[in-house]
Structure 1
Amino acid sequence: IKDEIKIFIPYLILFIVAVVLIAVLQNDLGQVILLALTLGVMLLFAGGSLRLLGVIFLGTISTAFVAIITSPHRILRVKSWWASAQDSVLALLPQGWAENLRVSGLPEPYQIYHAANAISSGGFFGSGLGEGYIKLGFLSDVHTDIVLAGITEELGFVGLFVIVMLFSYMLWRFFRIANRVANKTYYLFCVGIALLLGFSLIINAFGISGITPVKGIAVPFLSYGGSSLIANCIAIGLVLSISKNTQLNERSL
């Protein structure tokens, strides 16, 4: 494991630089969590051992814990999330433990409360495109990180299912391209782009549904934001370029 750690040190330094630039200077812990998840899974694709992944996981959890307890607004966000999720979790524990872990006096997060209402009111087929009413004063900035709730209200379970299937197909294509690439760097690049897009959707969906605290992660291609859209388009363009070069190399052989 010492040899693996030596190989991993340059990537760890690059990740620490990203942490300083994003989490410290821009106060955005959500993007760091997204990058950490992607880096950890890519380590397995690169041939790393589970022992090394366990060491990195413990280090990441410790760093995230320190970042949370040293920031009052992050502590409040975690408490607010727990206030809304505790009834479902504590029902599975003994009564004595449940009472010790229960947090009182905190209201359910405003956005999560109305996001859940929007998802619930959408039903199976939704209220119709453009006919959602919870976004009109109740769910603020629905076009940003909370866009999945607005889509589900108007297009229902069917609309959300179509979005998930489209993302799944896109990620499947990325992994298929990666599986055909002989170059290890190109292979890991395709895998990394697929993981970034997939984890972004999962973290956002879990956040608006109350499963995890909200992290402010945008839904690729759906949330408002020009820089995110451009970055995702460039990433997909590079993957398609790798796919095209792979096809040309196969034909030449």
Structure 2
Amino acid sequence: MKLMLKKLEEYDLIIMLMAIALTCFGVVMVYSASNIMADKRFHDGFFFLKRQGLFALVGFTIMLIVMRVDYHLWKKLAVPALLICLVLLGMVLIPGIGGKAGGSSRWIKLPGFNLQPSEMAKLALIMYMAYSLDKKQDKVKSLTSGFIPYMIVLMFLIVFLVLQPDLGGALTLAAVAVTMLFAAGTRLTYILSMFLLALPLLAIKLSRGYHKGRIDAYLDPWSDPAGKGFQIIQSWLALGTGGVFGQGLGEGKQKLFYLPEAHTDFILSVVGEELGFLGVAVIIGMFFLLVQRSMRIAVAAPDTFGRFLALGIAVLFGIEATVNMGVVTGLLPTKGLALPFISYGGSSLLISLFAVGILLNISSGLKISPIGIKDVK
């Protein structure tokens, strides 16, 4: 037992505890948000609980394995992983292979499990960029060899995601890639130029189809309270009803077929209704601590690859959590982006815990205090 504790002390236990706590809390909230709906749809109120619980157990096993694997292995697998993800993203669009839900084709149907390649692509892109930025440190300020190649890779990924369509996932990938490039020293003029070139295309995309409906609902949800604005209004009602202390775990009413996607994208609304502002504040604090510690690992990592790998994962967690919370509170237009560790979904949870395992391996041997870095291996 003492030997086991000694080995665990080599890793960043704060990150490990945050990941475990968020995941376990997510399992509880998935059950609370879905049991009535699951009983009506599947005649089994524990349907989503059993699946999310199984995903959590598998995810914890993956995390414990990956944290003991030298993170330099992912440098060797970065390019193959990215190519595999591109193939899988293409397979999603093939009828009969890709699974549809809500008008989007984002999953590959497997026996007992739907694989979402876009979740894998996020981590694969981070691995690839960390590997490439480590390899081309002296060329990062070059337009032709240090910026455009990354934009080409990013463009392929974004095209596949937009075709699904998954604009939220595409924007997340772009934000992570740009942040990593900026941290590596890419000229700001290149990034601004790319943004200006992409802005008209984004504006055209947002002005058509269901994206336009979401923008309209964001600007004035009360103009169509029973249609386009229904979801965000129900989310506000859930958060407002919860008040400071909440209605009590399991006592929420909006999940009773009022709030769409209560156990997935809008699970934070259920948290707000049942556990109140304090419950939501605790979740925000845990994510803040998780991202903060991940950033410190990035600063303290012993090599460039480790620094960029940890940075990319930290940014990914931060963006996904921030965007999901922004959507739930109406600060951002509605988009299908899960709350890491908490929303129902196997692909998201498994990849998130895989990423935590990588962070823990990078942290192995680093001495990071709650307020600063004491020592670097």
Which structure ranks higher in relative contact order (CA pairs < 8 Å, sequence separation ≥ 6)? 2
Shorter chain as normaliser: what TM range?
0.7 to 0.9
Which of 168, 177, 180 is matched with 1:39 structurally?
177
Q: Which residue of 1 aligns with 2:32?
A: none
Q: Is 1:159 the equivalent of 2:279?
A: yes
Question: How many residue pairs get matched?
Answer: 230
Is 2:224–2:230's contact at 8 Å kept on the other side of the alignment?
no
Which of 268, 284, 298 is matched with 1:178 structurally?
298
Which of 308, 320, 324 is matched with 1:204 structurally?
324
Which deviates more, 43-52 or 219-228? 43-52
Q: Is 1:74 the equivalent of 2:211?
A: yes
- Alpha-carbon distance in 2 for matches of 1:118, 1:197: 25
Flag the 1:251–1:82 CA change in 2: closer, same or farther, 3 A.
closer
User: Letter of the aligned partner of 1:72 in structure 2?
Assistant: G
- Alpha-carbon distance in 2 for matches of 1:206, 1:144: 15
User: Letter of the aligned partner of 1:181 in structure 2?
Assistant: A
Which deviates more, 176-185 or 48-57? 48-57
Q: Which residue of 2 aligns with 1:62?
A: 200
Q: Is 1:11 the equivalent of 2:150?
A: yes
Flag the 1:5–1:245 CA change in 2: closer, same or farther, 3 A.
farther
Q: Which residue of 2 aligns with 1:23?
A: 162
Flag the 1:117–1:39 CA change in 2: closer, same or farther, 3 A.
same
Stretches of structure 2 lacking an aligned partner (at least 5 in a row): 1-139, 368-373
Within 5 Å, give how 1:85-234 maps onto structure 2: 106-107=224-225, 109-234=229-354
SS in 2 for 1:161: helix
- Alpha-carbon distance in 2 for matches of 1:43, 1:3: 12
Q: TM-score, normalised by structure 2?
A: 0.57
Q: Deviations over 1:179-235 (max 9, x none)?
A: 111321211111111111111111111112111111111000010000100011111
Is 2:146–2:186's contact at 8 Å kept on the other side of the alignment?
no
Is 1:132–1:150's contact at 8 Å kept on the other side of the alignment?
yes
In the TM superposition, what is the alpha-carbon distance from 1:5 to its structure 2 partner?
4.8
User: Letter of the aligned partner of 1:83 in structure 2?
Assistant: D
User: Letter of the aligned partner of 2:289 in structure 1?
Assistant: Y
Q: Which has the higher strand share?
A: 2
Is 2:169–2:337's contact at 8 Å kept on the other side of the alignment?
yes
Report the RMSD for the aligned CA atoms in angstroms.
2.3
- Alpha-carbon distance in 2 for matches of 1:50, 1:171: 24
Is 1:200–1:218's contact at 8 Å kept on the other side of the alignment?
yes
Q: Deviations over 1:4-62 (max 9, x none)?
A: 353112211111111122111x1110101111111222222111222122112223323
Q: Which residue of 1 aligns with 2:132?
A: none
Q: Deviations over 1:58-98 (max 9, x none)?
A: 233233223223x411122212222239xxxxxxxxxxxxx
Flag the 1:152–1:42 CA change in 2: closer, same or farther, 3 A.
same
Superposition misfits of 4+ residues, deviation over 6 angstroms = 250-253
User: Letter of the aligned partner of 2:343 in structure 1?
Assistant: S
Flag the 1:251–1:194 CA change in 2: closer, same or farther, 3 A.
closer
Which deviates more, 45-54 or 193-202? 45-54
SS in 2 for 1:139: coil
Is 2:294–2:314's contact at 8 Å kept on the other side of the alignment?
yes
- Alpha-carbon distance in 2 for matches of 1:201, 1:73: 23
Q: Is 1:235 the equivalent of 2:355?
A: yes
Is 2:247–2:273's contact at 8 Å kept on the other side of the alignment?
yes
Flag the 1:27–1:156 CA change in 2: closer, same or farther, 3 A.
same
User: Letter of the aligned partner of 1:21 in structure 2?
Assistant: F
Flag the 1:245–1:57 CA change in 2: closer, same or farther, 3 A.
farther
Which deviates more, 137-146 or 3-12? 3-12
- Alpha-carbon distance in 2 for matches of 1:35, 1:207: 18
Which deviates more, 26-35 or 72-81? 72-81
In the TM superposition, what is the alpha-carbon distance from 1:251 to its structure 2 partner?
9.5
In the TM superposition, what is the alpha-carbon distance from 1:2 to its structure 2 partner?
8.2
Is 1:5–1:52's contact at 8 Å kept on the other side of the alignment?
no
Q: Which residue of 1 aligns with 2:187?
A: 49
Query: Identity across aligned pairs (percent)?
Result: 34
Flag the 1:112–1:245 CA change in 2: closer, same or farther, 3 A.
same
User: Letter of the aligned partner of 1:156 in structure 2?
Assistant: G
